[in-house]
Chains A and B, each alone.
Chain A
Amino acid sequence: MSDITKQSLTELVENIKNKKLSSTDVTKAFIDRSEKSEELNTYITNDFTSAIDKAKKFDQKPNLDLKLPGIPMAVKDLFCTKNIKTTAGSKILNNFIPTYESTVTENIWNEGAILLGKLNCDEFAMGSSNETSFFGNVQNPIDKNLVPGGSSGGSASAVAGQLTPITIGTDTGGSIRQPASFTGIVGLKPTYGSCSRYGIVAFASSLDQAGPMAQNVKDCALLHEVISSYDPKDSTSIDFKRNHFSKELTNNIKGKKIGIPKEYRVDGMPKEIEDLWKKGIQYIKDCGAETIDISLPNTSYALPTYYIVAPAEASSNLARYDGVKYGFRAKGENLIDMYEKTRSEGFGAEVQRRIMIGTYVLSSGYYDAYYLKAQKVRKLIKNDFDNVYKKVDAILTPSTPSSAFKIGEKTNDPVSMYLNDIFTVPVNLAGLPAISIPAGHDSNGYPLGLQIIGKAFDEQNILNIAYAMEEKINFKNKITDWWIK
Chain B
Amino acid sequence: MSKKNSEYLINRRDNQYEVVIGLEVHAQVLSESKLFSTSSTKFGAEPNTQVSLVDAAFPGMLPVINEYCVKQAIKTGIGLNAKINKRSVFDRKNYFYADLPQGYQISQFKDPIVGEGKVILDMPKGQKEVGIERLHLEQDAGKSIHDLDPQNTFVDLNRSGVALMEIVSKPDLRSPDEVNAYIKKLRSIMRYLGTCDGNMQEGSLRADVNVSVRPKGSKEFGTRCEIKNVNSIKFMQMAIEYEANRQVDLIEEGKTIDQETRLFDTKKNETRSMRSKEDAHDYRYFPDPDLLPLEVSDKFIEELKNDIPELPDDKKKRFIEEFKLSPYEANILVSDIDTAKYFEEVVTKMGKNKDIKLAVNWITGELFAVLNSKGLEISQSPVSAKNFAILINLIKNGTISGKIAKTVFELMIDGDKDPQKIVEEKGLKQQSDPKALEALIDKIINDNREKAIEYKQGKEKLFGFFVGQAMKASGGKANPLLINEILKKKL
Contacts and interface: CB of A to CB of B under 8 A. Distances in A.
Contacts of B454: none
A233 B57 contact: no
Q: Which of B53, B58, B59, B92 has the most CB of A within 10 A?
A: B59
B92 A316 contact: yes
Contacts of A322: 96, 98, 103
Contacts of A80: 59-60
A88 interface: yes
B137 to A, nearest CB: 15
A319 interface: yes
Interface residues of A, number: 44
B245 to A, nearest CB: 33
A235 B284 contact: no
B58 A202 contact: no
A250 interface: no
Interface in A325-359: 325-326, 335-336, 339, 359
Interface in A198-249: 198-202, 204-206, 232-236
B8 interface: no
Contacts of B102: 319-320
A179 B489 CA distance: 115
Nearest to A323: B98
Q: Which of B64, B104, B290 has the most CB of A within 10 A?
A: B290
A93 to B, nearest CB: 7
Given A80-B60, A199-B60, A364 B101 contact: no
Contacts, number: 97
Interface in A246-279: none
B62 interface: yes
A312 interface: yes
B65 interface: yes
Interface string A297-320: 000000000000000110110111
Nearest to B280: A364
A326 B290 CA distance: 22
B155 A202 contact: no
A79 to B, nearest CB: 8
Contacts of A312: 286
B59 A316 contact: no
Given A206-B289, A312-B286, A362-B284, A319 B96 contact: yes
B16 interface: no
B58 A233 contact: no
A231 to B, nearest CB: 9
Interface in B146-205: 153, 155
B94 interface: yes
A367 to B, nearest CB: 7
Interface string B403-414: 000000000000
Contact of B98 (A315, A335, A371): A335
A202 B290 CA distance: 10
A93 B60 CA distance: 13
A99 B97 CA distance: 24
B284 A88 contact: no
A483 interface: no
Contacts of B291: 235-236
Interface residues of B, number: 30
A363 interface: yes
A86 interface: yes
A334 to B, nearest CB: 10
Contacts of B153: 335
Interface in A28-80: 79-80
A363 B61 CA distance: 25
Given A100-B53, A316-B104, A359-B284, A204 B59 contact: no
A325 B64 contact: no
Interface in B279-297: 282, 284-286, 289-292
Contacts of A371: 286
Interface string B424-463: 0000000000000000000000000000000000000000
A319 B101 CA distance: 9
A325 B59 contact: no
Contact of B62 (A197, A326, A364): A197
A17 B284 CA distance: 55
A232 B64 contact: yes
A322 B100 CA distance: 10
Interface string B95-124: 011100111100000000000000000000
A417 interface: no
B59 A96 contact: yes
Contacts of B238: none
A316 B155 CA distance: 21
B480 interface: no
Given A235-B290, A339-B96, A316 B63 contact: no
Contact of A320 (B62, B101, B285): B101
A236 B291 CA distance: 7
A65 to B, nearest CB: 30
A201 B284 contact: no
A86 B59 contact: yes
A102 interface: yes
A479 interface: no
A484 interface: no
Contact of A325 (B56, B63, B286): B56
Interface in A357-388: 359, 362-364, 367, 371
Interface in B251-293: 282, 284-286, 289-292
Interface in B12-65: 53, 56-65
A233 B37 CA distance: 10
A136 interface: no
A325 B101 contact: yes
A363 B286 contact: no
A288 interface: no
A292 interface: no
A325 B61 CA distance: 14
Contact of A362 (B59, B64, B94, B96): B94
A200 B60 contact: yes
Interface string A83-96: 00010100001001
A197 B155 contact: no
B284 A363 contact: yes
Contacts of A234: 62, 64
Contact of B60 (A202, A204, A362): A202
Contacts of A98: 58-60
Interface of A: 79-80, 86, 88, 93, 96, 98-100, 102, 197-202, 204-206, 232-236, 312-313, 315-316, 318-320, 322, 324-326, 335-336, 339, 359, 362-364, 367, 371
17 contacts: A79-B60, A80-B59, A80-B60, A98-B58, A98-B60, A202-B290, A205-B289, A232-B64, A236-B292, A316-B94, A316-B286, A319-B96, A319-B104, A320-B102, A325-B56, A362-B286, A364-B284
Interface of B: 53, 56-65, 92, 94, 96-98, 101-104, 153, 155, 282, 284-286, 289-292
Given A335-B98, A362-B94, 19 more contacts: A79-B60, A80-B60, A197-B62, A199-B60, A202-B60, A204-B289, A232-B64, A234-B62, A235-B291, A236-B292, A316-B284, A318-B103, A319-B94, A320-B59, A322-B98, A325-B58, A335-B153, A364-B282, A367-B284
